Each structure stands twice: as structure tokens, then as C-alpha cells.
Amino acid sequence: DQQVKQNSPSLSVQEGRISILNCDYTNSMFDYFLWYKKYPAEGPTFLISISSIKDKNEDGRFTVFLNKSAKHLSLHIVPSQPGDSAVYFCAANAGGTSYGKLTFGQGTILTVHP
């Protein structure tokens, strides 16, 4: 049972435009959500997170939106840069469990063309 899903395996955008990566979840106990970026043969690096008490969190070019009623979150990258090309994973954690116990989506490969 895939509790966190990223339904788009890949996304291609032009440099300078907006990238929107989507993530859906099914477990209503999830209350903390994170986005990680990963290059091949490297570990994921943390990008941005959001708690379920918020519906938006912004950090520079990265903004995460959370729609709890739809069990949906999205990551917006504006403007997109070629260096943003990587695999992006969304992840979720349920309150009351170990904070490091994350459930990950399958990942979306983002390619930003110059």
C-alpha cells in the first residue's frame, strides 16, 4: 500500500519558468511533510518542510503548499535553474512516531533545460 505517491515520474521545464512537483498521501495521521532533492549516487538533501498546521511554507525559490482536505502537497520552484535538475522526493511523518520514520514517494525526475 503506497501511502505517499508521486504520480509524475518525470517533469521537464525551461530555465526561468516554474516547476511544480506534486505529491498525494493517504494516511491521515501524517502531520509533517518534507521535500528532498537527490542526485545520482548521492544521499538526499533536505529542501523544505511543512507542518500540518500550515498550508504554505516558503524558502527562497522553494514554496511548499499543503491541502489537507485533498491530502495533497506540491513543491513550487521559481525560477527554475539547470542546477535544480535532480530527483525530488516527498516524504511524510506521522505524529507520535520517531521523527526519522519517513514514508517516501517514488520520486519525480526534474529536468530544467537551459
Partner 1 sequence: DGGITQSPKYLFRKEGQNVTLSCEQNLNHDAMYWYRQDPGQGLRLIYYSQIVNDFQKGDIAEGYSVSREKKESFPLTVTSAQKNPTAFYLCASLPGQTSRSPLHFGNGTRLTVT
Binding-site ranges for partner 1 (CB under 8 A): 4, 6, 9, 32, 34, 36, 41-46, 49, 89, 91, 98-107
CB of 34 to partner 1, least distance (A): 6
Cα–Cα distance for residue pair 2/109, rounded to 1 Å = 19
CB of 39 to partner 1, least distance (A): 10
Cα–Cα distance for residue pair 26/16, rounded to 1 Å = 33
CB of 114 to partner 1, least distance (A): 27
Q: Which H/E stretch holds residue 91?
A: strand 86-94
Nearer to partner 1, 43 or 114 (CB): 43
Cα–Cα distance for residue pair 109/63, rounded to 1 Å = 18
Nearer to partner 1, 60 or 101 (CB): 101
Nearer to partner 1, 2 or 12 (CB): 2
Cα–Cα distance for residue pair 111/42, rounded to 1 Å = 17
CB of 13 to partner 1, least distance (A): 21
